Chains A and B, each alone.
Chain A
Amino acid sequence: MAVVYGANRTKILDPKGNNILDPGLVNGRIRVITDSYVCAATTAGYITMGPTLPVGAVIMEVKIGESITSACTLAVGTSASTTKFIGTFISSLNAVAVGPDTVAGCNYVVTGSSDNCIVIRNSGGVNATGTIKVMVKYAVD
């Protein structure tokens, strides 16, 4: 049976030059953002949540909870990729969705001004009424 190494473990085993890991990739301290928005027949569009994330932040987990009374098409991501962390799903009253749900959003590293805010997209053309909550875990150091 073959034994191979992950990208970061490979660097840890030979820690010099470019192999020195960025902060937070191993033994990172987890920080949390929480935010909420009360939709009052909010039209389709975007809700920007939480602070501006620092470049280099590694996104570990994203949760969205909603009590939307109509069937809205929601997704969670960034302005550059609005489905980066949780792909489109139909809101169902009093539910929680957990992400990242794709490998692209798993351990995603923030790179600049187009991906440093958490964005919720309502794309189905249905107005949203109710509360949306977001929780994001990330590591920077």
Chain B
Amino acid sequence: MAVVIGVNRTKALDPYGNNLLDPGLFSGRVRSITDTYESLILISGSVIDMGPTLPVGAIVVGGRLATDALGVLGMLSVGTSAAPTKFLAATQCSTAAVTVFPDTIGGMNYVVTGTTDNILKISTTLGSCSGTITLETMYIVD
């Protein structure tokens, strides 16, 4: 039976030159962003920018989207301007709920690279949304 080793563990076992791990990959300190938006009537196609601008190199390790019942057709996604569904695909928000993200491997341990992915964005993808929208996001930088 094969026993293999992850990318970062491989580097940690042979720590010189390019193998030195970037800050935060091992024993990184968790930081959190929380932000809230009170939506009166937000039409489909709207974008809510949440929280501060993330530094390049920040690793998004997960979070939660909490909403009121936003409306019969209300759907939200969580991502960045470059990829509006990076962390959470369009999710029905017709009932009050808390949804954990990321929901795909593409958003897992995502490393912020520049100006198109350094602000968390909630997008309304269908219907109009009315109610409280809260985003909690955990990330590491060091």
Q: Which residues of A contact B (CB under 8 A)?
A: 29-38, 42-51, 61, 63, 65-67, 94-96, 98, 117, 131, 133-135, 137
Contact = CB atoms under 8 A, between A and B. Distances in A.
Interface residues on B, range: 20 to 34
A36 B106 CA distance: 12
B28 interface: yes
A134 B62 CA distance: 12
Given A63-B108, A96-B105, A135-B62, A36 B7 contact: yes
Given A42-B2, A45-B2, 17 more contacts: A32-B24, A32-B27, A32-B61, A33-B27, A34-B8, A35-B8, A44-B2, A48-B5, A49-B6, A51-B12, A51-B27, A63-B108, A65-B104, A96-B104, A131-B105, A135-B109, A137-B30
Given A47-B4, A47-B6, A51-B26, A95 B140 contact: no
Among A34, A51, A67, A134, max chain B CB count under 10 A is at A34
B13 to A, nearest CB: 9
A34 B12 contact: no
Contacts of A44: 1-2
A94 B26 CA distance: 24
Contacts of B26: 33, 50-51
Contacts of A51: 8-9, 12, 26-27
B28 A45 contact: no
20 contacts: A29-B29, A31-B28, A31-B30, A32-B28, A34-B24, A34-B25, A34-B109, A35-B6, A35-B7, A36-B8, A46-B1, A48-B6, A49-B9, A51-B9, A51-B12, A51-B27, A66-B105, A95-B105, A96-B105, A137-B61
Interface-centre pick from B4, B5, B25 (highest chain A CB count, 10 A): B4
A46 B28 contact: no
Interface of B: 1-9, 12, 24-30, 59, 61-62, 100, 102-106, 108-109, 140
Nearest to A44: B1
A98 B100 contact: yes
Secondary structure at the A interface, as helix, strand, loop or mixed, is: strand
Contact of A30 (B30, B103, B109): B30
A32 B30 CA distance: 7
Contacts of A94: 104-106
A133 B30 contact: no
B104 A36 contact: no
A32 B140 contact: yes
Q: B1, B9, B59, B106 — which one has the most chain A CB atoms within 10 A of its CB?
A: B9
